[in-house]
Structures are given as C-alpha cells and as structure tokens.
Amino acid sequence: MIQSCSKPTVAHYSVRAERLGALGENARLPRSVQAIYLRPLRRKAEYGLPVCDLQLRSYSVDNVEFFADFAIRAAYYLNLPVSGPVPLPRLVQRWTVLRSNFVHKKSKENFERITLRRLIQIKDGNPQVVQTWLAFLRKHAFYGVGMKANVWEHESLGTVYPSLEIAWITQLLTTGDMTDVGKAMDESLPEIEQSLRPYLAQFGQRENKSAENAKFDILETGRFAERNNQ
C-alpha cells in the first residue's frame, strides 16, 4: 500500500518554531556553547612583563578576527594573561603590469594586495605554558592566517652569578635605591672572571685532549720526516 506524502506547509513550520522557542525558554544551553556567543574571558596580569608577542596576518578580515578570538580563548584556559588583539597598520602592495604587448603596450592593469595584521601579547606567562599555547595554535591553525611569534624568557641573574644578586640586595637594603648597581657589578667582575676561567681555558679544545696528541703523531709520520731530511 502506497501512502501519499504531503509537502510541509506554512503551519507546519510555525508549529516547529513554537516548539523550538518553548525549548529555549525552558532549557538552558551548556556554558561551553553559551561562551561562543559571548566575549572571550581574560586573565589579569600581575606584573605586566611581556613574554610573547603573536602577530597574525591574513588577507581576509573574517579569518584573522576569527583566529584571534580563538587564540584569546585558548590563552584563558591555559591561565595566560592576554591583551589584544591590537590592529596593526596594513601592508599594501601594488603592481602594475602590461595588459598587452607591442602596439597595445600602453594598456596597463593595476593589482593591489592588502595584508591585515593583529597583535596579541601574553604577559606574566610561564615559558613552558607559552610554548604549549603556541603549539596548540599551530596544531589548529586556520586557513589563510599566518603566525609570527616573538618569545622572551626572563631569568634571575642569581641563578648564574649569585654574587651579583647578593650585591644588588645589599645595595637595596643599605641605600634604598639601585643607583649604584653598575658599581656593584664592576666590583664583582673579578669573581665572575675567576668562575669562568676553567671553562674558557679549554675553549675550542676537546675534553680528552686527543687532538693535541694527534698532532704529534702526524708530525712523526714518514711523509713529514722525509720533508725534514730534504
């Protein structure tokens, strides 16, 4: 038995719209879905030290804005304070080419390419977390969007030269300012040179000093002995 299928009418669509409206009023969308329609959340920077500048480039406004929003949301969930995106000056490139040749060489055509840029800055971020954030963005890169990142790592001088940190702390406790930091660094210079002397003594040499013995072995070969006898 064949049943006839009637086409959906206007009343059918109106009933479906009423059902969807009632569902939206009685039920709430998940927070992860609601966050898509809201502004991305941000972390506040405590010290304001820049650790990464990410520059996005694209020929399309929609692509670069979409990926900038995605990068900011990813930074929030990684606990990275972020600022931006800041619009940078556009890069405009123009070319003029011949439309034809020979007697029609005066007919020319102009082409223009505009590169849009956005700057996103990460502050007070752990270097490993910043590398994770950049790797995540590279993995989920959006088509038509290029990335360029400048990363800075801050490290205390006390981990390399403890005497410098001790001198700076002493100067700060005694005088209350850091005006004589250069003088403290000059006074600690002999100690630094003394600590680096064992490393610079073997600069350009192998640890086992096998190269020095190999030179004497080469000089004692028969070929060099014959030259010396001549």
> Which pLDDT score, from 0 to 100, does residue 136 have?
92
Residues 122 and 60 in one domain: yes
Residues whose CB is less than 8 angstroms from the CB of residue 78 and which lie 6 or more positions away in sequence, other chains included: 129, 132, 133, 136
Residues 136 and 48 in one domain: yes
Q: Which of 55-69, 165-179, 183-197, 207-221 has the highest mean pLDDT?
A: 55-69
Instruction: Please check whether residue 157 is in contact with residue 192, taking contact to mean a CB–CB distance below 8 angstroms.
Output: no
Structure pTM? 0.56
Residues 42 and 138 in one domain: yes
35-39, 84-88, 136-140, 175-179: which range is least confident on average? 175-179
Residues 53 and 87 in one domain: yes
> Which pLDDT score, from 0 to 100, does residue 89 have?
93
Would you mind telling me the total number of residues written for the chain in this entry? 230
Q: How many domains does the chain have?
A: 2
> Which pLDDT score, from 0 to 100, does residue 184 have?
63
Residues 52 and 103 in one domain: yes
- Identify whether 105 is part of a domain: yes
pLDDT of 144 strictly over 60:
yes
CA distances from residue 103 to 98, 100, 108, 142 in whole angstroms, order as listed = 11, 8, 12, 46
| Structural domain boundaries enclosing 44 | 32-151
